[in-house]
Structure 1
Amino acid sequence: MKKTWTAPVATCVGAATLFTSGFSIALANNDVELTVDGQTTEAHQLGGTVADLLNAHNITLGDHDVVSPAPETRITDGQRVSVNFGRQVNATIDGAGNSLWTTSTSLDDVLDSLGVADDARVSIDRNTRIEREGITITVVTPKHVTLVADGQERTMVSTDETVADLLASNGISLGERDRVSADANTPLTEGMRIQVQRVTVQNVKTTETIAHGTKRTEDDTLDSGTEKVTKQGRDGSKDVEYEVVMVDGVEESRSTRSEKVTSEPVTEEVAVGTKSGSGGGSSTGSTDGLDLSNADMWDRIAACESTGNWSINTGNGYYGGLQFDNQTWLGAGGGQYASRADLATREQQITIANRIYAQRGLSPWGCASAA
């Protein structure tokens, strides 16, 4: 009788099962191209999804990371999976803060996306790679500014961040008292004008005149309308020290530091006649050594020169009714009457005027047309 072998059958069945299982594993063992932040590696994945692939490579996705295709996508042989991690970029541009997330590893690309031109000043090299921890940068864009200092006005394009930076880059140092039109920490802005003023303080010593006063006393022994100097006046003097503030070489202010009188002024004393019966007015002819000829003409000129005020002294260097300067008055002999014309009487002033008229006519008087 012929025997039946079951073991081989079982073996065949097992072999068939093993063959079938081995075929399934072969089908599921997929070749995958995995690219992470631009770095590509070849990977093998036994079926599953993109999420399974990432888990197998210990890749955890954050809120700002990007994967393609989507995590739930089934893996197939030859699959390409790309992962780009999010990176935070903190950029301060011309003092204004900007924070953004990007999957780019190129700082240059991010700056281009922010509109930062190539000629801007960036705190980090534009070719720097942005790592996963992110990056912080400061950007200063070029600006047209005008700098005025030391007698020069310069217009330039600058990528300096502040006024202080601009001064430093142009070799301008400031003294303790120098002034700048903007605070040193002020950020530069387009079209800004910065002016530097050099300030110096000087101690100036000078000798100044102390003008003397005049005291008039009525005297009834003198004819009315006449005056007589009974005590010659004399100006005094004083030494004065000033603190003078100069701004760009021009005096801005001065204040007195010290003052010392070196000679006191002497008050001039004048007797003013009050005795009645003396002639005056527009009389003509010579009396008591006085020459009153042309008196009416001189009255008209005086009315023009000084509104007829024979004792006027406005401090302009011209004195009396006919506005004599001191050199002319003394040169014509006026000193025999008074040190200045305004201290002499009308008649004495007319007498001196006649002396000058005899030599030079009316040319010394601006109001000659009133004659």
Structure 2
Amino acid sequence: MKKTKKPVKMVLLFMLSCLLMFLMTGCAEEYQVTIQDGKETTEITANSRQNVKDVLEEAGITLGDKDETDPALDEKISGEITILIKRYASVTVVGVDGTEIPVECVGGTVADAVEKAGITLEEGQVLDAEEDEFLTDGMTITVTQQPAVKLTVDGETKNVFTSAKTVEEFLEEQNITLGENDRVSPEQSEAIKNGMKIVVQRVVIKEETVTEDIPYSSETQNSSSLAAGTTQVKQAGQNGSKEVTYRITYINGKEDSREAIDEKVTKQPVNEIIVVGTKQESNYSGGSSGGSSGGKTVVSVEYYDDCDGSGHGIKVITYSDGSMEEVPY
């Protein structure tokens, strides 16, 4: 039986086909490509035969008519790169006076749109969106003026612009922590208003026990053995003492009030006793018909016991001329 040989031409064609396939697949280098679309990040593998447009299509990312890319769509992938997608956006910036300013940006942020609108934010003016937020088509950005509040706390007074809605939110915004007894004016539930004054008073309440004197009193005793108009100390007075516990309120470090909440007598006071003389010198001769006083005679003498609580009696002398005299005894 005779062996047949394969034609040399067919062998060469097969080898050429294999070489072509190797060149088409083996020679294309692959790279890691990052696609940044606003805040969205996509990682994809691409090869050197592809351009930016091919990579975006493979990643399923669609571009608008006015959107742009960096690098350009027709640029070949030549290494590990980041493709930045710049989205077109037509937005409106509203100023503090209500004026609406249309702005067009490609790949811009809120800050870019405000700058392009010719607006410079002044103290206390804020945006209703974060400055680094990427723009989206049809977006509205509003500039507002925050209310100014005068804050007094811990010995310092300052003007503060705030976005808080209530006094309570304002204190949280300013990182002010209230103690158990601290006071705030106005009430924490009150709504923030422009020009409002907010005062925080640091209140500390302490208890203190002190020793105090109890003043002695003076009392008098009448004595008929002492001449009228003379006095004598029968007993010297001495102060007593007591322990008093006070609840003291300090506001911003200064005493505001104190209240006695407990009291204990440790020594009773000793009263002073003063003896008052009531003895009268006689200026008549006595009797109902023989005495005289300055050319007049005593007609009668009547005695009245202590009737007014003074501690001594009264004698009433009636003279011949009809005059009368009251003399203590």
Q: What's the TM-score, normalizing by structure 1?
A: 0.40
Between structures 1 and 2, the one with greater helix share = 1
Q: What's the TM-score, normalizing by structure 2?
A: 0.45
Between structures 1 and 2, the one with greater strand share = 2
